Amino acid sequence: MEKLELLYEGKAKKVYATSDPEKYIVSYKDSATAFNGEKKGEIIGKGEVNNLMSNIIFQLLAKEGIKTHFISELNERETLVRAVSIVPLEVIVRNVAAGSFSKRFGVAEGIELKQPTLEFCLKDDALGDPMINTSQILALSLATPRELERIAYIATRVNEVLSNYFDTINVKLIDFKIEVGRTNNGEIILADEISPDTCRLWDKETGKKLDKDRFRQNLGEVEEAYQEMLNRVSKF
Ligand code: TMP
């Protein structure tokens, strides 16, 4: 399958058309941003780690009955995916307080939440991805009530499956962000990526951060943490 025109370039990936209108090629970059693009850098090898890790996870989720855009891995940085139109929402699930949740609600990082939380942000860089609630999503026709139900179900299932899975490789799933897309027959499926860019992942024993917070917070050993996550996921 050949890459045709560049359809979209985001902060971490490029999406290309192919000769088949039902399929796109995603190409992962090493570039990293944080705080809505304010902090910019490069994490050497990140494109490969995120591509390979995301593909392993999407295949695992598929086995659990969660439909994803994954079709086949083309090479270390590129994957063939089902063409979808991305629902402009960042869907965030949290098990433990961290990041913007800790900041917004004044809850110390690391506090276990009594139950997982589900939150939505509008995917709009110019607006800084503001939080949005379900009535606002419906009022703006960003999703239908049925789609929202489906999105919440997918997010909850992904959390269950991945929390258990990461536990077996000695990692605590603190929180994560997913994106979903509409196929051309109107089905909502999991899209984008699941990687150390989009999850908080802490070593179960030491609490060491094995995710993009190492870059966000200048903690060092950024590349090593990404490689460590890929090693653990690959060995499973
Ligand atoms: P937050 O605590 O900064 O809101 O992030 C929650 C989760 O979402 C965390 O695992 C990182 C992920 N995330 C993204 O994947 N993309 C983003 O743009 C942001 C802000 C967070």
Q: What is the mean pLDDT of residues 153-173?
A: 98
Ligand 1 atom at minimum distance from 176 CA: 10
Residue 49: per-residue pLDDT? 98
Residue 70: per-residue pLDDT? 98
Q: What is the mean pLDDT of residues 127-144?
A: 98
Ligand 1 atom at minimum distance from 212 CA: 11
- Provide the 8-state DSSP code for 111: P
Residue 1: per-residue pLDDT? 83
Other CB atoms within a 10 A radius of the CB of residue 54 amount to 24
pLDDT digits (tens, 9 = 90+) for 60-104: 999 999 999 999 999 999 999 999 999 999 999 999 999 999 999
Ligand 1 centroid to Cα of residue 197, in Å, is 8
Q: For the chain, how many helices (H) and strands (E)? A: 6, 14
Q: Which helix (H) or strand (E) holds 55?
A: helix 46-63
Task: Supply the pTM of this predicted model.
Answer: 0.98
Residue 235: per-residue pLDDT? 87
Q: Which residues line ligand 1 (CB under 6 A)?
A: 92, 98-101, 129, 175-177, 197-200
Average confidence score pLDDT of the chain? 97
Ligand 1 atom at minimum distance from 101 CA: 2
Q: Do 225 and 210 form a contact (C-beta atoms < 8 A)?
A: yes
Ligand 1 centroid to Cα of residue 198, in Å, is 6
- Tokens 């949290």 correspond to 94
Nearest CA to ligand 1 atom 8: 177
Residue 19: per-residue pLDDT? 97
Q: Kindly give the pairing relationship between strand 85-86 and strand 6-9.
A: unpaired
**Residue 174 banded pLDDT, cuts 50, 70, 90:** very high
The CA distance from 229 to 159, in Å, is: 18
Among 11, 36, 92, name the best residue to mutate to test ligand 1's pocket (greatest count of ligand atoms within 8 A of Cβ). Answer: 92
53 phi and psi, to 5 degrees? -70, -45
Orientation angle between helical segments 46-63 and 145-168, nearest 10 degrees? 110
pLDDT digits (tens, 9 = 90+) for 137-159: 999 999 999 999 999 999 999 99
